[in-house]
């Protein structure tokens, strides 16, 4: 590291750091110290971290350094500092699930994804800010409002807000979020990152607090597609502690990053590009991105999935949200309801009074949406749309919007295009594809690419091909 200032280390990708660490040109201790220094400087501005494990991570870094020096290199995450949404259990480290109700909860075990990252040699920097209980709590943050590194008065998006902010501001090399309706993809879109929601069953949920049991999915938020593949490689696979994981082999995801997509059939979901729902600058960027995919040799056509435009609605998504969340936290609802944020209280109480017939109808509509999507994916390899229908909105504080128009503008419209793929359980990635000018502020835009169930390799391959053909992922926030 003769010509490199230690302060520059946080700006390297996982892939770049891994090469330098394996060759012993830099040490895990140097990298960790550089990240901790930057966290102390930048985190007070963006509130990305709830808990920082500074003493333990330095001890772990020294162990990693010794292992690598003694030729016991474990792979590309060995000695790499990572951080995780505070939704995952961490042995000996506070896990709040974004709520004061759990401010003193210290688990005595790790979530499976944490164990896997540590087994791969990863170094846990700390726990990241999030919406309370990962559902609905995006207007009140008991641990400080997470701020977008691209514009501090704008949101980082979704409940994995700290994961988006920390990764974008170079406060960790890679991170984990959790995506129920879009909370990996939205922060990635709003913060100029790459974020993958894996297929349901590809990654274990054991040791993760749930929000909507039938939709919750852990996944990586990173600075490029290669880092996303590296992180997914570590956490994917069957887990005997989670019977809903798929007992099938995990591909070598990096080997699929060939940049070759010639002949791949890609469908543009026309229902997600409706002018009434999408910002014109976002639509322009998505159209331009699909043209790039076409130039790379993909066969791109418009497709129709009629129910996609209704996925984020009172007909389908919201009955799942309120019913399942109130059932999961039934004991808290009965005994500690007043300690929840107001917006979460609204969802929990609505879940208690929603008629069973409404939830049943939502399930039927979800099944129909799944069938419509499945039929299209018999002809097409991938589906594309915008990740979010507008750039990162200005931060909102206070109670949940109460009027219909406020709910549409502040809750439904921003994640209008992510929920459908989550309801169906498809793998879907967000990659940077442009910028919008919002009153003189430059804000990132994300392209969403979804694939068949368990076809993460195909999704990553297309995302990598697009990334390599463009420069958007190289941009850095001004912070």
Helices (H), 272-397: 280-295, 317-328, 330-336, 342-353, 356-377
Q: Annotated catalytic residue: which of 168, 183, 389, 430?
A: 183
Task: Report d(CA 365, CA 372) in Å as an integer.
Answer: 10
Distance CA 271, CA 363 (A): 21
The full 3-state SS of 205-229, as one line of letters, equals CCCECCCCCCCCEEEEEECCHHHHH
Mark whether 159 is an active-site residue: yes
Catalytic residue (choose from 27, 85, 168, 204):
85
Question: What's the token pair of residue 57?
Answer: 């991570």
Q: Which of 27, 159, 186, 188 is catalytic?
A: 159
SS3 assignment, position 286: helix
The CA–CA distances, whole Å, from 243 to 94, 200, 204, 258, 459 equal 26, 12, 9, 33, 25
Q: Which of 82, 177, 173, 192 is nearest to 130 (CA)?
A: 177
Task: Annotate 267-276 with b (16+ C-beta within 10 A) or e (fewer).
Answer: bbbebbbeee
Catalytic residue flag (residue 27)? no
Backbone angles phi, psi at 217, to 5 degrees: -150, 120
For residues 376 and 383, the answer to whether their CB atoms sit within 8 Å is yes
Q: Which residues share a beta bridge with 429?
A: 196, 449
Active site (annotated) includes residue 389: no
- In this structure, the chain runs to a length of 479
Q: What's the count of helices (H) and strands (E) in the chain, helices before strands?
A: 15, 11
Is residue 307 within 8 A of residue 313, CB to CB? The reply is no
The catalytic residues are 85, 159, 183
């Amino acid at each position: 590291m003769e010509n490199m200032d230690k302060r520059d280390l946080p700006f390297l990708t996982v892939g770049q750091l891994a090469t330098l660490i394996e060759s012993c040109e830099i040490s895990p201790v140097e990298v960790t110290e550089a990240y901790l220094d930057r966290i102390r400087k930048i985190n007070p501005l963006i509130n990305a971290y709830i808990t920082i494990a500074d003493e333990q991570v330095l001890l772990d870094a020294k162990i990693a350094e010794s292992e690598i020096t003694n030729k016991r290199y474990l792979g590309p995450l060995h000695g790499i500092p990572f951080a995780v949404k505070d939704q995952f259990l961490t042995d000996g480290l506070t896990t709040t699930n974004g709520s004061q109700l759990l401010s003193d909860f210290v688990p005595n075990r790790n979530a499976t994804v944490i164990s896997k990252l540590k087994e791969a040699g990863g170094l846990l920097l700390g726990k990241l800010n999030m919406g309370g209980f990962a559902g609905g709590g995006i207007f009140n943050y008991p641990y400080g409002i997470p701020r977008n590194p691209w514009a501090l008065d704008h949101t980082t998006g979704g409940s994995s807000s700290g994961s988006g902010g920390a990764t974008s501001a170079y406060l960790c090399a890679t991170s984990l979020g959790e995506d129920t309706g879009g909370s990996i993809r939205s922060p990635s879109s709003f913060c100029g990152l790459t974020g993958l929601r894996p297929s349901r069953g590809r990654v274990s949920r054991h040791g993760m607090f749930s929000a909507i049991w039938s939709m919750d999915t852990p996944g990586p938020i990173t600075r490029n597609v290669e880092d996303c593949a590296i992180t997914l490689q570590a956490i994917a696979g069957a887990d005997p502690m989670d019977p809903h994981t798929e007992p099938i082999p995990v591909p070598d995801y990096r080997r699929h990053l060939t940049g070759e997509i010639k002949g791949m059939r890609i469908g543009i979901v026309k229902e997600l590009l409706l002018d009434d729902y999408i910002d014109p600058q976002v639509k322009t960027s998505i159209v331009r991105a699909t043209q790039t995919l076409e130039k790379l040799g993909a066969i791109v056509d418009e497709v129709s999935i009629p129910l996609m435009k209704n996925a984020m609605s009172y007909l389908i998504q919201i009955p799942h949200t309120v019913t399942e969340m109130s059932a999961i936290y039934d004991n808290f609802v009965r005994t500690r309801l007043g300690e929840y944020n107001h917006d979460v209280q609204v969802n929990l109480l609505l879940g208690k009074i929603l008629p069973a017939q409404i939830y049943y109808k939502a399930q039927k509509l979800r099944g129909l949406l799944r069938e419509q999507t499945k039929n299209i994916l018999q002809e097409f390899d991938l589906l594309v749309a915008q990740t979010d229908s507008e750039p990162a909105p200005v931060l909102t504080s206070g109670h949940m919007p109460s009027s219909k128009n406020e709910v549409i503008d502040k809750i439904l419209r921003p994640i209008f295009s992510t929920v459908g793929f989550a309801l169906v359980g498809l793998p879907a990635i967000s990659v940077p594809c442009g910028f919008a000018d919002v009153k003189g502020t430059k804000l990132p835009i994300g392209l969403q690419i979804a694939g068949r169930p368990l076809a993460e390799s195909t999704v990553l391959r297309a995302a990598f091909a697009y990334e390599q053909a463009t420069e958007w992922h190289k941009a850095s926030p001004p912070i």
